Amino acid sequence: MKLTVWTYEGPPHVGAMRVATAMKGLHYVLHAPQGDTYADLLFTMIERRNHRPPVSYTTFQARDLGADTATLFKKSCQDAVDRFQPEAIIVGASCTAELIQDDPAGLSETMGLTIPVIPLELPSYSRKENFGADETFYQIVKALAKPKDRTARVTCNILGPTALGFRARDDVEELTGLLSDLGVQVNVTAPLGATPSDIARLPAAHFNVLLSPETGEAAARWLEKTYGQPFTKIVPIGVGATRDFIAEVSDIIGKPVLIDESRLRLPWWSRSVDSTYLTGKRVFIFGDGTHVAAHARIARDEMGFEVVGLGCYNREMARPVRALAKSYGLEALITDDYLEVEAAIEALSPEMILGTQMERHIGKRLGIPCAVISAPVHVQDFPARYSPQVGFEGANVIFDTLIHPLVMGLEEHLLTMFRDDFEFHDDAGPSHHGGKATAKVEPVAEEVHAPQDDNIIWLADAEKELKKIPFFVRGKARRNTETYATQKGLHQISLDTLYEAKAHYAR
């Protein structure tokens, strides 16, 4: 048993639902008790979908357990086929049904249905949502893909985007446009928007673009092995990654490509003098492996931030994320326990977090700005406007996303200059966020402040001076000073120690 308060991922059958809901003409018959229908609201409320997810729940109750839950399953299966007339169904069990071992696969086989029935084995007690989506998509592709001649023109499939994906809707559109600029047409995008008959013609494409490794890699590997379709390894999020992706596609199709970069604004926005204040901002990055890897590169190479910590919650990506962290001189944090993430952030006291909705809450608690870059998603992550992450427009969107939570350049200087101003002070927060300006509360003077470290004491004048440092760098100043004091073997931090440390760390 493991005590959990908040989770980054749902159970694997929710992953299967993300695939089923993304597709058309497919129905999911889920052996599950009453209550598991809560998952519908993820799609109808968070993603604002205007249709119920195509899922039939058998809804067994305690009194059914002694009787015949298998018949209940078969009836739900038949009802779903009759009512919704899908081209194919997927069948499986949620965590409770896994325990009663009714074998949905075997039961559905005996029913003599005329449409393809794809059984899913999703171990609820060892795996999670991303695995569920990846495995479900793989099983669907394996069951439905049929040998096809390659299309006359160069085409590819886009693999991986699902319902409830982070900006999947806009990423597909942006990527389709980018590929079109490269002279490559999209044969099928799947699972998002695909029907079972679309899945059948996946092998007609010349290659696959793996947009979301978390949810599409198993299918991409199988298609490579079975139909000889190579797949792209670079996810085009960020300027550098997009250029590398274009080169990768050019290699695959075996001819040079010319790309119009006139819409790409990030490089100039980043070079323009207003962005100087971004230099060396200490950021902590956490999310799914794919988005973390992309944002580590963006943060360091395209924004000029300093990456002080990174990690991911999906264990499937642990290996590449560990290697990535190492190349940044860091140790990756691989965990799905948000308390561990919170502790890591607190210890590093970064100036900004690039994270998920969980880190946004952690940031709120710790007073650190956070930009959301990855699932798990919230209703806010489904904006009405076009806001892709991939390609050149994606890079533009990300630039805006990353600077929005920060205090702007000149404002930062003004805060430093007039830090004792009664209304223009730390607690007021960045002015462009429109929060109500709060009057400054005069601190009550105390003789000696509680030690922050085991054997280091801040003297009152130093503590007072520390409070004059703007909130977004105060954590760094405090930590640097304490580290400096420890190195010098000092047990008390005076005003002089504070400024000696400042000079020591000056860049």
65 is an interface residue for other proteins by CB under 8 A: yes
The answer for residues whose C-beta is within 8 angstroms of residue 197's C-beta and 6 or more apart is 25, 87
Taking the C-alpha atoms of residue 387 and residue 410, their distance in angstroms, rounded to an integer, is 27
Minimum Å gap between C-beta 52 and other proteins is 5
Has 102 been annotated as catalytic?
A: no
Q: Which of 16, 19, 20, 39 binds other proteins (CB under 8 A)?
A: 39
The residue (of 196 and 376) whose beta carbon lies closer to other proteins is 376
Q: Which of 78, 96, 185, 483 binds other proteins (CB under 8 A)?
A: 96
Q: Which of 50, 114, 262, 327 binds other proteins (CB under 8 A)?
A: 50
Taking the C-alpha atoms of residue 111 and residue 472, their distance in angstroms, rounded to an integer, is 64
Q: Which of 61, 279, 416, 438 binds other proteins (CB under 8 A)?
A: 61
The answer for residues whose C-beta is within 8 angstroms of residue 133's C-beta and 6 or more apart is 15, 16, 18, 19, 162, 214, 215
Stretch that binds other proteins, among 60-68, 218-226, 234-242, 430-438 (CB under 8 A): 60-68
In Å, what is the CA distance from 214 to each residue of 88, 283, 328, 374?
24, 24, 23, 12
Minimum Å gap between C-beta 4 and other proteins is 5
The catalytically annotated residue of 68, 79, 251, 274 is 274
Query: Nearest CA to 203 among 184, 180, 219?
Result: 219
Q: Which of 17, 19, 33, 397 binds other proteins (CB under 8 A)?
A: 33
Q: Which of 68, 71, 79, 121 binds other proteins (CB under 8 A)?
A: 79
Minimum Å gap between C-beta 59 and other proteins is 5
Q: Which amino acid is at 254?
A: G
Classify the phi-psi angles of 103: left when phi > 0, otherwise alpha if psi is within -120 to 50, otherwise beta. left
Stretch that binds other proteins, among 33-41, 150-158, 207-215, 257-265 (CB under 8 A): 33-41
Taking the C-alpha atoms of residue 361 and residue 358, their distance in angstroms, rounded to an integer, is 5
Query: Nearest CA to 459 among 485, 483, 441?
Result: 485
Taking the C-alpha atoms of residue 1 and residue 14, their distance in angstroms, rounded to an integer, is 21
Are 270 and 398 a contacting pair, CB within 8 Å? no
100 is an interface residue for other proteins by CB under 8 A: yes
Query: Is residue 409 a known part of a binding site?
Result: yes
Classify the phi-psi angles of 112: left when phi > 0, otherwise alpha if psi is within -120 to 50, otherwise beta. left
Dihedrals phi, psi of 92, to nearest 5 degrees: -170, -175
76 is an interface residue for other proteins by CB under 8 A: yes
Contact letters (x/-) for other proteins, 121-160, by CB under 8 A? --xxxx-x--------------------------------
Q: Which of 24, 25, 59, 453 binds other proteins (CB under 8 A)?
A: 59
Q: Identify residues 274-333 at the interface with other proteins (CB under 8 A).
A: none
Q: Which of 365, 432, 467, 488 binds other proteins (CB under 8 A)?
A: 365
Query: Is residue 36 a known part of a binding site?
Result: yes
Query: Is residue 336 a known part of a binding site?
Result: no
Taking the C-alpha atoms of residue 46 and residue 17, their distance in angstroms, rounded to an integer, is 14
Measured torsion, CA atoms of residues 392, 398, 400, 403, in degrees rounded to the nearest 10: -140
340 is an interface residue for other proteins by CB under 8 A: no
Measured torsion, CA atoms of residues 114, 115, 116, 118, in degrees rounded to the nearest 10: -100
Q: Which residues are catalytic?
A: 274
Residues in contact with other proteins by CB under 8 A are 1-7, 9-11, 13-14, 33-42, 44-45, 48-52, 56-62, 64-65, 76, 79, 83, 94-96, 99-100, 123-126, 128, 357-358, 361-362, 364-365
Q: Which residues are documented as binding site? A: 36, 409-410
Q: Which residues are documented as binding site for [4Fe-4S] cluster? A: 36
